[in-house]
Amino acid sequence: MIIPFFTGLLLIFTIAILTYSYYNKPKDGLFAILILISFILIINQDWYASALSISLLIYSLLFAKETSYIQLATFSMIGSIVFGFFLFNYFTGNQLVHTTWVIIGTLILMCYLTIQGIFEDDLEKYLIISNFIQTLFVFLDLSVASVSGSIAKLGTIQIFNYTFAGSLLFLTLGILSKDNRRTKISQLRGSNYRNSLITFCASIAALSLSGVPGLNMFVSEWLLFQKAFLISPVITIFGIFLALLLFVMYFKLVYVLSVGDSKVKERSPVLLNIISVSLSIICILFGLLPNLQYLILGLVG
């Protein structure tokens, strides 16, 4: 069931980005389809080959300015999902040496990246930092899961939730930034007056990624730090500090979107509104009903 599970996650993101590209850059939609098909074939052939997904993440980091917004979103999300597939298969049969120190080191790196995100105003760099942080969360989950023996549930819950919240963030910020024509986060001031519905959905995505209770990402992070405490309380201490930093990083985005004024109203296509609202509802539903997540992930395991 694990291959259909990750294939489904890839399709969820691709449907969102293809719809977005239809209204902005249809040619980039073809690019997204090619990337999707390539990596679906890869994960169905040999899980070792899915390590190639690292190249997507590295490319998004090094050549962000040479790629369009849709390409950046595709590299980031498909790269993270397929890399999650690679990590899941690796940790199913292997365990890290000095796991506690590796986890603490990863948390320190995530704290550093989060601090960078707090002060970052470039929208693309902010999204890249956010994506790398969430990908490291997947690594943390699987590291802890390999020790605690809960690989089926804990090993998939983070990437499961990130697919919805991450896709929603890329989709809504693409709409609000006019396909990154507003290149700075500070230029998104007044979004709540220009397009209140999409601003609300973007805020749901940001708050979910920050781990706010009642939203889907909180469930996976709570489960992670609960299991990590059994390995070492020090991990949980670093985790709490990271959670505070993440809240500041993502709430900055919510604040910027909410303040300011604009006399110009901007309408987004109805289909994009429907997808954004649907993803928002999923983030809320899985947050308020965590047992529903456990049920779905139980079928995977």
Q: Is the pLDDT of residue 233 over 80?
A: yes
pLDDT digits (tens, 9 = 90+) for 280-292: 999 999 999 988 8
Distance of CA 63 to the CA centre of its chain: 20
Give pLDDT, residue 152: 60
Nearest to 13 by CA among 116, 154, 165: 165
Give pLDDT, residue 148: 66
Q: Is the pLDDT of residue 273 over 90?
A: yes
What is the share, in percent, of the chain residues with pLDDT greater than 70? Answer: 97
Nearest to 191 by CA among 113, 279, 123, 286: 123
pTM for the complete prediction?
0.93
pLDDT digits (tens, 9 = 90+) for 189-207: 999 999 999 999 999 999 9
Q: Which amino acid is residue 166, in one-letter code?
A: G
Question: Average pLDDT of 25-37?
Answer: 92
Q: Where are the alpha helices (DSSP H) in the chain?
A: 2-23, 26-45, 53-62, 69-93, 99-118, 123-148, 151-176, 191-194, 196-209, 216-231, 233-258, 270-288, 290-300
**DSSP label at 122?**
B
Q: Which amino acid is residue 288, in one-letter code?
A: L
Q: Is the pLDDT of residue 298 over 80?
A: no
Q: What angle do CA 83, 88, 90 make, to 5 degrees?
A: 95
Going from N- to C-terminal start, the domains of the chain cover 90-300
Give pLDDT, residue 301: 59
